[in-house]
Amino acid sequence: MASHALDHPPHAPADIRHDWTRAEAEALFALPFNDLLYRAHGLHRRYFDANEVQLSTLLNVKDGGCPEDCKYCAQSARYETGFKAKKLMGLNEVVAKATVAKAAGAQRFCMGAAWRAPKDHELDSVLDMVAAVKGLGMETCVTLGMLDGDQARRLAAAGLDYYNHNLDTSEEFYGEIITTRTYQDRLDTLARVREAGIQVCCGGILGLGESVADRASMLVTLANLPAHPQSVPINLLVAIEGTPLADNQTIDGIDFVRVIATARIMMPASVVRFAAGRLEMDEATQALAFFAGANSVFYGEKLLTTPNPAGAEDRALFDRLGLKPMTPRA
Ligand code: SAM
Ligand code: DTB
Ligand code: SF4
């Protein structure tokens, strides 16, 4: 492959690129599996300790009742999923859950809300949660939907470490999954978060019915952002009864590992998370995903509304694989 060293300032390594083409990404997906994994794992070792894994625990602080129509989501008010809407959780309950997560070994606490966008008084409550969780000595992440510039700056001022806002899929396939906000809306929120100086957590979902070309296209959009998201969650669809995607087949482990490896090659210095869907994959497939460049997971028995492996099971898996918790980077 041609060197792109001249496209970058002298201090930027040549493999941190923002000029990926879809043809290049598709060519990575088409590599023999061993060649793809060899390249991905080599880069993984250049940028990370290959035996470390970052542990984030999720908490849904606002359940259900969301006006958006994301076809995969248990919390959209448009589908009969049986999931009950609740009020925003109180600060004491959030702090109690974060305390338990920290004691179990989580480094980051990620709080999600089923909103299209936060109202300003709702954001005030979330700012208190961020400050309290930081006070426990944990990294913080929130995912609240779309933000305006002022909201992003207020979150930054409260000391928020990460904002999660996913692209979910390719721009081409996006309209099949969500119609109540545009791809550009998502890119605009990501720009506001980045400009406020908050680290970006942005990735997508596999198994929505997308093609390999869509997977490649989504990774190109992520890698060609002005800065690579510091955290890239790759979720497998958790098929939710009552949603339009309830009967989707889960994707095959080999196809999944190809996405992880390609993300690792295209964004070598980013933490890539094997996010939702680990219960669908056996431990050998998870081990292969860690080899291919995944170095983060959601840790704790619940995602937002659905189950995740129990902490004790994960600790046993990490022991078997010789994986240790990642030392948070400054
Ligand atoms: N409401 C906010 C939003 O959508 O931006 C924040 C919470 S939302 C649940 C966060 C992300 O979770 C979604 O963008 C999607 O990528 C992921 N997600 C939601 N439901 C999922 C499912 N059933 N399977 C896999 N990922 C899912
Ligand atoms: C992300 O990329 N995955 C998380 C988090 N960001 C907010 C959500 C996964 C949700 C899985 C389905 C559920 O539990 O409802
Ligand atoms: Fe609402 Fe977020 Fe679910 Fe979409 S993914 S329906 S915005 S909670």
| Closest ligand 2 atom to 164 CA | 6
Task: Select which of 17, 108, 141, 154 is catalytic.
Answer: 141
Please tell me the number of the ligand nearest to residue 110's CA. 2
Is residue 59 in contact with ligand 2, taking CB distance under 6 Å? no
Q: Ligand 2 mean position to 232 CA, how many Å? A: 13
Q: Assign 5 a pLDDT band (cuts: 50, 70, 90).
A: very low
> Which 8-state DSSP code applies to residue 281?
S
For residue 220, CA distances in Å to 17, 59, 122, 174, 226 come to 10, 30, 34, 15, 12
Q: Which residues contact 193 (CB under 8 A, 6 or more apart)?
A: 147, 152, 163, 165, 200
Q: Ligand 3 mean position to 69 CA, how many Å? A: 7
Residue 63, pLDDT score: 96
Is residue 233 in contact with ligand 3, taking CB distance under 6 Å? no
Mutate to test the pocket of ligand 2, among 235, 259, 280 (most ligand atoms within 8 A of CB): 235
Please give the single-letter amino acid code of residue 221: T
pTM of the model: 0.95
Q: Are 90 and 128 in contact (CB under 8 A)?
A: no
Dist CA 121 CA 31 (whole Å)? 50
β partners of residue 111: 59, 142
Mutate to test the pocket of ligand 1, among 76, 202, 232, 235 (most ligand atoms within 8 A of CB): 235
Task: Give yes or no: 110 in active site.
Answer: yes
**Position 2 pLDDT exceeds 80:** no
Q: Using CA of residue 328, residue 55, residue 188, residue 145, what is the dihedral sign?
A: negative
Q: Ligand 1 mean position to 164 CA, how many Å? A: 10
Exposed/middle/buried for residue 7 (C-beta within 10 Å: 0-12, 13-18, 19+)? exposed
Q: Assign 8 a pLDDT band (cuts: 50, 70, 90).
A: very low
Residue 327, pLDDT score: 75
Dist CA 151 CA 154 (whole Å)? 5
Task: Select which of 194, 258, 273, 278 is catalytic.
Answer: 273
Dist CA 176 CA 303 (whole Å)? 24
Is residue 303 in contact with ligand 2, taking CB distance under 6 Å? yes
R_g over Cα of the chain: 19
Q: Ligand 1 mean position to 21 CA, how many Å? A: 27
Per-residue model confidence as pLDDT tens digits over 23-82 = 999 999 999 999 999 999 999 999 999 999 999 999 999 999 999 999 999 999 999 999
| Closest ligand 2 atom to 204 CA | 2
Residue 12, pLDDT score: 63
Is residue 238 in contact with ligand 2, taking CB distance under 6 Å? yes
For residue 238, CA distances in Å to 47, 83, 179, 241 come to 30, 14, 20, 10
Task: Give yes or no: 202 in active site.
Answer: no
Dist CA 50 CA 7 (whole Å)? 28
Q: Are 220 and 258 in contact (CB under 8 A)?
A: no
Is residue 64 in contact with ligand 3, taking CB distance under 6 Å? no
Per-residue model confidence as pLDDT tens digits over 223-272 = 999 999 999 999 999 999 999 999 999 899 999 999 999 999 999 999 99
Residue 13, pLDDT score: 77
160-168 mean pLDDT: 98
Dist CA 21 CA 308 (whole Å)? 35
